[in-house]
Amino acid sequence: MQLRKRSAQQGFSLLELIIATTVMLILLSVVSTLIARAFSTRQRETRRADALVSVQAALNVISREVGNSGFGIYSDSVTRVASNGIITADSNANRIHIRSNMFNQGDRNDCENNVPDTACMTDEAGEDITYYLDTATQSIVRYDPNSFPTTSVVVNRVSSLTFKYFNYDPSGVAAPTESTTPTATTGRVEIVVEAMLEPVIGQVNPSSVTYKSQVTLRNASYMLRQY
């Protein structure tokens, strides 16, 4: 009778404790892994959202100024055909140089060809703009020789900036052609920005987001005839 009482009061054996502890450790490991993944995913999406907001803000700035390109400018003083304002000699797939006469001053001659002419009156801040990617700092730079400072960063952590130009047939018969270089008949510009995301532990790295915007050059001769 005494022996049975002692047996009933005995606790868990060492083997049972080891098994129970092992199971608890496995469960804790699984739970901690799930929590870490959840935080990692949240961090990735937060950084993606921040990058999208920054890129969208930068595209809005670039799109607005590109859309106003050519305002108040004629291609020449004889034909007085409206200019799209793109400096073709200084624009390509990775940069764009635009001019506009925002204050509508001067006789607006030869601006498209970038002829040094004070009567052109594109020497005010915001009238002679170049956008390009500074690969050293991975940032989009806005260059304005008539402002101070002349350069300003639009957005950081950018891996690529590309421009595509849609050149229109002045007669309106043929479909527009796509090119990496602009012409006097360019009526629309596509801007593509790829922004790099900061590395996130537990996620695929490196990661990036791409944003695209198409801008109609409302002051181009062909586009003016569409309104």
The predicted-structure confidence for 175-222, as pLDDT tens digits, reads as follows 889 999 999 899 999 999 988 776 656 555 567 788 889 999 988 877
User: Can you state the percent helix, strand and coil of the chain, rounding each to 5?
Assistant: 30, 25, 40
Residue 121 pLDDT > 80, yes or no? no
Q: Nearest 5°: phi and psi at 53?
A: -65, -45
DSSP for 150-174?
A: SEEEEESSEEEEEEEEEEPPTTS-S
* H or E segment to which residue 58 belongs: helix 14-67
Q: Which amino acid is at 218?
A: R
pLDDT tens digits, residue range 68-112? 998 888 766 666 778 888 999 999 999 999 988 887 665 444 444
> What CA–CA distances, in Å, run from 164 to 78, 134, 180, 227?
30, 19, 5, 23
Burial of 108 (0-12, 13-18, 19+ CB in 10 A): buried
